[in-house]
Homo-oligomer: A and B are copies of this chain.
Amino acid sequence: MIKLSTKGRYGTRLMINLAGHFKAGQDAVILKNISDEEDISIRYLEQIIIPLKIAKLVKSIRGAGGGYTLARSPSKIRLCEILEVLEGSCCLVECVDDSDFCRRTDSCAAHEIWAEASRVLKDYFDQFTLQDLLSIQEKKKAQARSHGSLRPAGRTSCGQAHRRRASGAH
């Protein structure tokens, strides 16, 4: 699938959410809040936000009245930064970053392709800041409203994996 991991997907939504609150003037949002709004488990959000904090994309405020907030304004944070922090890098294969990963790169045609594809993808993600994503979101919301095409439930959201839940009680 060449799939984006859930960390990348959830993390992006987490950051978009924080960006929204940032714009609204709030300075600390608690994870419970984000968890409710985005329908992602708090426990998982706690794990996802750690690398974002280490990378100084978000700031944490401990104790009562604390929470998280963006470390910079949404227009100063690029999607590419978020993904690199959460996915390790935007590289499609290890040997693009780590030349020791596979020998025979001298004769491997695929290596060229993966490397260039990684660059193409990175360049694409580098175009967008959180501010851009916020703008897209607002435009979409306005469109959905005017269009009157409200989805029935609208509870869960992108990247959500709680679909096949056949395993019963656990």
Contacts and interface: CB of A to CB of B under 8 A. Distances in A.
Given A101-B163, A124-B116, A106 B144 contact: yes
A1 B89 contact: yes
A125 B117 contact: yes
A9 interface: yes
Contact of A121 (B89, B110, B117, B144): B117
A167 interface: no
Contacts of A108: 13, 137, 140, 157-158
Interface stretch (A44-52, A57-65, A148-156): A148-156
A76 B125 CA distance: 31
Contacts of A2: 2-5, 8, 83, 87, 90-92, 121
A144 B1 contact: no
B124 A117 contact: yes
A109 B93 contact: no
Interface in A17-54: none
A37 B153 CA distance: 54
Interface in A90-125: 90-95, 101-114, 116-117, 120-121, 124-125
